[in-house]
Structure 1
Amino acid sequence: MKFKDGYWRMRPGVRASYAAAAHDVTADRAGGSLRILAPTRPITHRGATIDGPVLRVDVSSPMPDVISVRTVHLAGSVPDSPAFELRGEPAAAGISVDAGHASLTSGSLTARLRRDAPWELVFSAGGRELTRGDGRSLAVMEDAGGRHFLAEQLRLSAGELVYGLGERFGPLVRNGQTVDIWNDDGGTASELAYKNIPFYLTNRGYGVFVNHPGRVSFEVGSETVSRVQFSVEGHELEYLVIHGPTPADILRRYTALTGRPALPPAWSFGLWLSTSFTTDYDEATVTSFAAGMAERDIPLSVLHFDCFWMRRYRWCDFEWDPETFPDPEGMLRRLKERGLRVCVWINPYIGQASALFDEGRRLGHLLRRPDGTVWQDDHWQAGRALVDFTSPAAREWYAGKLRALRDMGVDAFKTDFGERVPTDVAYADGSDPERMHNYYALLYNRTVHDVLAERGPAVLFARSATVGGQRLPVHWGGDCESTFEAMAESLRGGLSLGLAGFGFWSHDIGGFEGRPDPAVFKRWVAFGLLSSHSRLHGSSSYRVPWLFDEESVTVLRAFTRLKARLMPYLYGAAVRATTDGLPVMRAMQLEFPGDRACDHLDAQYMLGPDLLVAPVLSAGGEVSYYVPAGEWTRLLDGGTVTGPGWHAERHGFDSLPLLVRPGAVLPVGAREDRPDYDYADGVTLQAYRLADGDHRTVTVPTVDGGAGAVFEVSRAGGRVRARRVEGAAGPWNLLAGGVRAAAGPDTDEIEIILEGAT
C-alpha cells in the first residue's frame, strides 16, 4: 500500500517512524547471526532513548547465498502461525564487526550495515552492489485508523527490471505496478489473482522473498520509482535476499528453500477432456466423447467430470448424482477399459444441503466464527461452510471422503476454489485469520495431494496457491474468456507463476467463459498442447473439436500426437523441474538473461531448455516473435530462422513458430498414441546445429522419472557420433544434418558423416 503523498509528504493521517541508525549490534559468531537495535530517531544523549519505537533487526543466513533480515517492533504481538515451511539449513556465515560497520557473508552474498546514522544496509556479491535499504527505508507506519505496519524499501538501479510475485495477468515486468499478495477469485483479466507469491527477482542478479503468509503489499517502483517497497500489517517483517547471479540460479535457491514440485505421473501430460461446467452430461455423454475421440484417432488420456457429477446444492458431498450416474463404479470401470484416467471436481466448501454439513458441524470440522457458530454465507453454494484444515481431525475426515472416490477408481482431483477465505473466523489451531487467508490453499491442496500420493505419483488440477504450493502440481490459470486477448493474458499468468518456482501449469484450451470462435479454439489448441499440461474445458459449452469444425479435429489430432512424440524431452524437463526448480514453461528472460531483447517478452516462451514456442494470437495467423542469437531450426518443417532478431510470419492453423535451439539434442519418442510409454525404446536423438567440439549428454527418462537411458552425442569436424552409455538394450536412432542412422538393440554407438560438414 502507499503511505506517501508524492516524495516528501505522508498521506493524511499516516505517521512514519524510520530506522535512524544501528545503535547496538550483537554478533553471534557461533550461530552466524547479527542482532541490531535500531531506534527511530537519532540518539544524541541518554534522554533520547526514552519513548518512541525501537526496531529489533536480526540478520542471518538459512542457506548459502541467502540472507534473512527479520525486523520486529512489538514482539508480543507477532502471531506464530501459520508460517511457511522453509527447508534450508543454516549456512556457515562469516561475521565482521568494527567501529563503522557490521557485516554478514553467506557464500558470495554479503549484507553490510552502517553503525551510525543514517541507516544503511547494503547487499553485494563479488564486490558488486545488488541493492540497498538506506535513509528512509525501514519503517514503522501507523495509518489514520490506528493500524500498524512494517515497511521496507530496497533500491532499484537504473535499468533494473522486476519479475514474479506469482500469477499476474498483466505485463511480465512488474515495474510501475502495485501488487497485493492476497488470493482472490477474480478471473484472469484484472489485478486480482488466484496464486499470489511474495517473491520477486530482478535482472540484477538477486531475488527477494518476503516470508509472510498473509497480505503483503508491494509497490514496485510505483510509490518511489527507484524503490521496491513491501509492507505488512503488524509488528514483524522478514525478507530474504537470494543471490543468483542468473535467474535460474535464483530460482534454484528459492525452491531449495520453499520446496520443489513432486513429479506428476506421465499419463497426466496427455490430453484431458472435461464435461465442461454447466453443460448437460451423463454417462452416455462422456462415453460418446471418448468414443468420438477414439474414432478420430485423437489420443485421450483423462476424462474430467466437473461440478455436476454431484447433485445440485449439495457441493460437496462427494456422492455421484444417482439420477445422472446410477452406476458410478461400473461407469468408471468401463472408462478404464478404454484406457482412460478419471478426474473429478471438488472444492473445500460444504453446502448446507449436503449431508456432510450436519456431520461436519457435529464433529467440529467446519470453520467457526469467534462466537463459536459455524461461519456461513450464500456465495457459490447456499449456506456454504468451509472445512477447517488446521484441524488434523478435519483433514482426516475430508481425506476419508476422497479415499472412497479414489478406491472407486478416481485418479485425480480438480481442487477448485480456496481463495475467498474469510478473516472473521477462529481456526481450530488458533492460527491468525489474516495469515491463514492465503495459507488455506496450501493446507487444502496438500490434504488432497497426500490422499492420491498414498497410491503413488499424484496429480491435482489446482487453482489456488501460496508459497509451497509448487510442491503439489498441477495448477491451472483459472477462469478466462474465450478470446485471443484472454489467451495472451493466460500465457502471461503462467510465465509469471513459473518465475515463482511452479514447475507445471495449464489453462483451459479454448477459454472458459463463452464459446470460442473456431479460429480461437484452433490457435489455443496448439498453445495448449505445447504447455506442460493440456485440458479442454469450458463453462457452458463443450470443447470436443468436432463441434467447432472439421479442421479443429485435424489440428487437435496433430498437436496431441506431436506432444506424445515429444514426451521423452518433455518428461526429462519435468524431472529436472523436481530437482532444480526450473519450470517446464519458461519466460525467455529466464533462459536468456544477457539478451536485453528478451527482458519484456511475454507472448512467447521456452518449453524446456531447447524449444521456443510463439503462440499465434490472431485468426489470420499473423505472428511476430523474437529469436535469440544463432541459427534455430523449425521443428515442424526443418527450415531455419536466424537470430538475434524479430521475425514476422503467417501460419496456418496446423502450424506455429516452434523452434529448436542451436546445439540442442532433442530426444523424440517412437509413439504418438499415448504420453506414457517406454521412451527409450526406438527413441531418436535429433541433433541440431552442433558446433565442432560440442558434446551433449542426453538422459531419456522412464515413465516413473528414472534414467531409462543415457546417451552422449558429440561432433568432431564433419562427424556426429552418439553413444549409449547407460540403459537396457533396445533400438534407437540418430538424426543430424537431415541424415538418419538407426542402431539395433545391441548397438551402443552410431555415427553420421555430415554432407559438406555443415
Structure 2
Amino acid sequence: MELYVDVPMRDGGTVRIEPVSRNIFRIRHGADFRFPEASLVKYGVVRSDWPRPEFACEDRDGIVSIRTEHAQLKVNKGDGRIAFLDEQGRMLLEETQRQAGANAGFAAEFALADDEKLYGLGDESRHLLQKRGHRAKMWVKNVDCYAPIPFLYSSKGWGMFLNTTWRHFFDLGYQKPDRWKMFAKRGELDYYLIAGADYGELLDRYTDITGKPELLPLWAYGLTFVCNQQANAREMLDDAMHFRREGIPCDLIGLEPGWMERHYDYSVDKKWHPDRFYIPGWADKGPQTFIGGLERLGFKLSLWLCSDYDITYQEEKLAGQKRTAAEPEAPVNGDYNADDFEQDLRAHAPVYMDRLTKRDEPWFRHLTAFVDQGVKAFKMDGARQVNEHPDRKWGNGMDDEELHNAYPVLLNKQMYEGFREHTGLRPMIYTSSGYAGIQRYAATWAGDTGGGPKPLISMLNHGMIGHAHASCDMDVFTPEGIHFGFLQPWSQVNSWAYWRHPWLLGDKLLPIFKYYAKLRYRLLPYIYSAAHTAARTAMPIIRSMPLAYPDDPASDRLMQQYLLGESLLVAAFTNQVHLPEGTWIDYWSGRHYTGPADIVAEVPDDRGGPLFVKAGAIIPIWPEIDYVGQKLLDAIGLHVYPHGSSEFTLYEDDGETFRYRNGEIALTRITCAADDNEIRICIGAREGQYEGMPGQRSFDLQIHTDSEPADVRLDDHKLRPGAEWHYTEGSIRLRVEEETGKRGPRCIRCSLRA
C-alpha cells in the first residue's frame, strides 16, 4: 500500500499528503518530488513508526481527495490549497492562501469562523490562554519565550502541529480578524492536521506525534529544595537535617553551580569543588560520602548544569547519518606537501572554533561518574539553551537559525536517554526551556521569573499542549505563594542566592509552610494517579479552565484558577473564584456552593488561597511521611464526597523503573453512588501487581456527608456504631480491609436518616 499521495500543482511544486493515522494527515510542500526528512523526525522527537491506515484517493475536477475512516483532506491541484474535513464531511479547516517554495520560506493562511477559539503554542506568552487575536513569535528566548510549542488547536475540532525548527510566526486573527496564518522566512512547509471531537482527543493525538509525557520517579512529585549557592557539603546536610527535625517532608536536595570546581563549568571535565564538596579519590562513592549521608536521611541529590555542548554529533550518530561537520576532521599526521619544507604542523593544523565539544563523546557520558556516586536528578539551567549563537555552525551542518529552537529538546532528550540507559531508572531532568516534544524528556520550571500569576499562566499553557510536569519557583514569603507552590504537578523551593529556608520564615509563615507540605504529601497518590492519566492520554495534572470546562463562557478569562487532577479546584493570588457547573465544597469550611457562580471565597488566616472539592470526588490520601519510600503504605485513606455517581482509579507502581510500561501497575477502581436515602461505595480488588506492592491493603474511609447514617453495612454485614464506624464532624469514618484472594469489590452501604 502506498504511504503517501503526491499532488503536482499546475503552478509548480508538489504537495505530499501522508495519512499517518485515521485522524492525522501530514502535509508537505516541496519544489519537486524530493522531500528530505525534517530534523525532528530524523532525531526521533517526532514519530516516524506509524501503523499506516487504509485510505482512498480520488482525483476529480482538479481536486484530489484522500479519505481515511475518520477524516478527509482535499487538495486543489492548481495552487495546493487544502481543505480538512471530519468523517461526516463537516469542514474543519480551509486554507485561503499559500506560499511555499525552495529557500523562500513559507506562509499559509486559513479561514476563521466567527465563534472559533484557538489554544496552544506552549510557554510563548504569559498573559492569555485563548490565543485568537494574538501574534506569536516562535523563538526560544530567555524569560520572554522559554518554550514555544508549534501546536495549535481549535474549538472547531482541528489541531495543527507545524513540523519546523526555524524561527517562525503565528498571526491568529491579529491582522485579519477572520484569518489565521503561519509563516517563516526560511524552511519548508511541513505540518500535521489532526481531527478530534474535543480538546482531550486533540491533545492525545498531538502527543501521538511528539510523544506522551513520561512518568517522573514517584519521589519527584514531592518537594524539591535547592540550597543557597554558597552552601558546602556540611551546610547541605544541615539543611537536610533541618527538614527532618522540623517534620517537613522533602525528597530532593539540589545544588547550584557552586558544587563545581570551576564556577559555571560548561565542559565535560567538571569536577566537585575540592573544598566545598570534598570526596577522597580513594573512596569516591559509597555510604561514607555526603551523598551517602543524604540517602540515609531519605533524600535524593540534584545537580545544576548548563551546556554549550554541540549535541548534534550524537544526534547524527543516533540517526545513523554521516557526520556533516562544517570542517573536516583534523588529520592525524597532517597533509604531506613537498613544498612544505619545515612541516610545522603545530601552527597549521585545522582550527575548530568549538573548543568545548568532544565530537565522539556524548554529552551525558561525563555525568555518569556523578550518577554512579548517587546523583539522582539534574537541573538544566537556561544558560546557553536559550542563548542565540548567531555565528555558530553546528556539527550537523545547521546554522543556529535552524537549530536554536531544537537545542533545548535535543539536549534534554540526551539527558533523559543517557540517565535511563545508564541506570534503568526514570530520570528527573528539569529545565526552564523547551520545544516540541519536551513533555517526553523533562519536567520544567518557569525559569527565573518567580512564583506569581505570570508563571501560573505559563504552566497552564504548558498543560494545554500536553506537557504534564510544569512548575515554578515557590514564593515562600507569602501565604499565597506557598498555597500555589504546593498545589502544582511538582513543587520546588529555590534558595539560589537567597535564604528561602522554611525554618527561617518566622512564626506566621513556618506553620503555613508545614501544613501545605504535609497536605501535598497526603495528596501524592491522587497527584500520581493524575500523572498516570497524563502518561496515557496527555491530559495534564493541572488543567486550565478552558481545557476542563470548554463550554463555560467564563473559562477563557480565568487565568488564576485551575483544576489539580479532576476534582480539586485551586485559585491562586485571588479570592475571587468562578465555580463551574455542579456542586463544589469549600475545602477549608465545608460549605457547599452550586455553580456556575462567581464568588468571593473566604480563606482562613492560616491558609494561602481558595481550594474547592468537586462533589462526587474520591481522593486517596497517604498517611504522614517524611519522604517517599519511608515506609510500606499498606493502609491509605479515602476521602469521599458523595454526589450522584462518580468513580476514581488509583494507580500504583514501583515508582522508579519503567516496568509500568510493560503493565506492572496495580489499579484500584473505586465507585460511589449517592441519593437522598443511601450512599454506596465499592472498592474494587487490586488489578495487576508490581514489585514491592503491599501484600495486604486497608482503607481508612472518611465519607463527607451532612446526614448521619441510620446504619452502615460492609458487604451486607451490619457494622456496629461506635465500634466499627462512627460519625463525627460531618463525616462517616470506618476502616475496610482488603480480603485476601477475593476478586470482587468490598461494598459499603450507608442508609441515611430521613
TM-score bracket relative to the smaller structure? 0.7 to 0.9
Q: Distance in 2 between matches of 1:118 and 1:450?
A: 40
Match of 1:413 in 2: 378
1:154 aligns with 2:125: no
Supply the distance in 1 between the matched residues of 2:206 and 2:79 (Cα, whole angstroms): 33
Q: Cα distance, 1:386 vs. partner?
A: 5.7
2:2 equivalent in structure 1? 31
1:467 aligns with 2:460: no
- 1:326 to partner: Cα distance: 2.1
Cα separation, 2, equivalents of 1:106 and 1:73: 27
Cα deviation for residue 80 of structure 1 reads: 5.1
Look up the match of 1:698.
649
State the alpha-carbon separation in 1 of the partners of residues 608 and 309 from structure 2. Answer: 45
Does the alignment pair 1:537 with 2:498? Answer: no
Aligned pairs (5 A) from 1:256-655: 256-277=208-229, 280-313=230-263, 315-316=265-266, 317-327=269-279, 330-349=289-308, 373-375=351-353, 387=357, 393-395=360-362, 398-417=363-382, 418-431=385-398, 433-453=400-420, 454-455=422-423, 456-481=425-450, 487-510=452-475, 518-519=477-478, 522-615=479-572, 617=573, 622-651=574-603, 652-655=605-608
User: Could you tell me how far apart the structure 2 residues matched to 1:207 and 1:386 are?
Assistant: 41
Give the direction of change, closer, same or farther, for the CA distance of 1:580–1:82 in structure 2 (3 Å limit): closer
Q: Distance in 2 between matches of 1:164 and 1:445?
A: 22
Residue in structure 2 matched with residue 127 of structure 1 by the alignment? 89
Structure 1 equivalent of residue 673 of structure 2: 715
**Structure 2 match to 1:730:** 697
**Number of residues of Structure 1 aligned to a counterpart in Structure 2:** 657
Match of 1:743 in 2: 736
Q: Alpha carbons of 1:386 and 1:533: their partners in 2 closer, same or farther (altered >3 Å)? A: farther
Listed as ranges, the matches of 1:641-680 within 5 Å are 641-651=593-603, 652-676=605-629
Aligned counterparts of 2:576 and 2:521: Cα–Cα separation in 1:
27
Residue number among 42, 47, 59 corresponding to 1:86 in the alignment: 47
Separation in 1 of the partners of 2:566 and 2:544?
A: 11
Higher deviation after alignment, 285-294 or 410-419: 285-294
Aligned-partner Cα distance in 1 for 2:559–2:484: 14
- Write out per-residue CA displacement over residues 219-277 of structure 1, whole angstroms, 9 at most, x where no aligned residue: 11123222221113335201211111111110000111111122111111111111144
Whether contact under 8 Å (1:367, 1:374) holds in the other structure is: no
Alpha carbons of 1:647 and 1:252: their partners in 2 closer, same or farther (altered >3 Å)? same
CA apart distance, 1:216: 2.1
Structure 2 alignment gaps of length 5 or more: 311-322, 330-349, 688-694, 706-730
Distance across 2 between alignment mates of 1:228 and 1:676: 50
Distance 1:257 1:341, change over 3 A: same
Contact 1:169 1:492 (8 Å CA) reproduced:
yes
TM-score of the superposed pair, with normalisation by structure 2: 0.81
Measured after TM superposition, the shift of residue 115 of structure 1 is 5.4
Instruction: Determine helix, strand or coil for the equivalent of 1:460.
Output: strand
- Name the CA distance, whole Å, in 2 between partners of 1:310 and 1:206: 48
- Decide which of 117, 137, 161 is 1:180's aligned counterpart: 137
1:139 correspondence with 2:106:
no
1:686 is displaced (CA, Å) by 2.3
SS class of match (1:683)? strand
Aligned partner of 1:226 in structure 2 is 178
Q: How does 1:89-128 map to 2 (within 5 A)?
A: 89-99=51-61, 101-114=63-76, 121-128=83-90
Query: 1 CA distance for matches of 2:38 and 2:133?
Result: 33
Partners of 2:351 and 2:388 in 1: CA distance: 16
| C-alpha separation in 1, matches of 2:365 and 2:187 | 39
- Residues 178 and 219 in structure 1, CA contact (< 8 A), matched pair in contact too: yes
Query: Which stretch of the first structure deviates more once superposed, 645-654 or 744-753?
Result: 744-753
Q: Does 1:213 align with 2:165?
A: yes
* Equivalent position SS for 1:403: helix
Contact 2:100-2:188 within 8 A present in 1 as well? no
Instruction: Quote the Cα distance in structure 2 between the aligned partners of 1:576 and 1:73.
Output: 43
SS at match of 2:127: coil
SS across alignment from 1:63 = coil
Q: Distance in 1 between matches of 2:495 and 2:328?
A: 39
Q: Percent identity?
A: 23
Q: What SS does the corresponding residue of 2:428 show, helix, strand or coil?
A: coil
Change (3 A) 1:118 1:539: closer
Query: Which range moves more in the overlay, 112-121 or 721-730?
Result: 112-121
Counterpart of 1:70?
Answer: 28
Q: Measured at CA, do residues 668 and 150 of structure 1 come closer, stay the same or move farther in structure 2, by a change above 3 Å?
A: same
CA contact (8 A) 1:71 1:238 kept: yes
* Contact 1:498/1:586 (8 A) holds in 2: yes
Matched, 1:753 2:750: yes
How far off is 1:487 after superposition? 0.8
Amino acid at match of 2:642: R
Show the counterpart of 1:59: 17
Moved more, 425-434 or 302-311: 425-434
Change (3 A) 1:77 1:740: closer
Q: Aligned in 2, Cα 1:374/1:441: closer, same or farther, shift over 3 Å?
A: farther
Corresponding residue of 1:20: none
TM-score (normalizing by structure 1): 0.81
SS of aligned partner of 2:559 = coil
Cα deviation digits, residues 103-130 of structure 1 (max 9, x gap): 2223422223455689563434533222
SS in 1 for 2:647: strand
Q: Does 1:170 align with 2:170?
A: no
Cα distance change, pair 369–75 in 1 and its aligned pair in 2 (3 A): farther
Please give the root-mean-square deviation of Cα atoms over the aligned residues, in Å: 2.9
Give the Cα–Cα distance (whole angstroms) in 2 for the partners of residues 671 and 413 of structure 1.
Answer: 27
Alpha-carbon deviation of 1:540? Answer: 2.5
Compute the displacement of 1:490 (Å). Answer: 0.1
Shift of residue 444, structure 1, vs aligned partner:
1.2
| Partner Cα separation in structure 2 for residue 266 and residue 120 of structure 1 | 45
CA contact (8 A) 1:741 1:751 kept: no
Amino acid at match of 1:753: C
Please give the alpha-carbon distance, in whole angstroms, between the structure 2 residues aligned to 1:367 and 1:541: 43
CA distance in structure 2 between the aligned counterparts of 1:79 and 1:128, rounded to whole angstroms: 32
Q: Secondary structure at the match of 1:492?
A: helix
- The counterpart of 1:204, out of the listed 156, 162, 165, is 156
Q: 5+ unaligned residues in a row in structure 1: which ranges?
A: 1-29, 41-53, 352-364, 377-384, 511-515
Q: CA deviation at 1:626?
A: 1.1
Residues 371-417 of structure 1: CA deviation (Å, up to 9, x unaligned): 964446xxxxxxxx6648xx5x231xx32210000011111111122
Letter paired with 1:160? E
Does structure 1 conserve the Cα–Cα contact (< 8 Å) formed by 2:94 and 2:111? Answer: yes
Contact 1:603 1:614 in 2 (8 A): yes
SS at match of 1:110: strand
Q: Which amino acid aligns with 2:627?
A: R
Superimposed CA distance per residue, residues 510-544 of structure 1 (whole angstroms, 9 cap, x where no aligned partner): 2xxxxx7x32xx32121111111111014421211
C-alpha separation in 2, matches of 1:416 and 1:169: 20
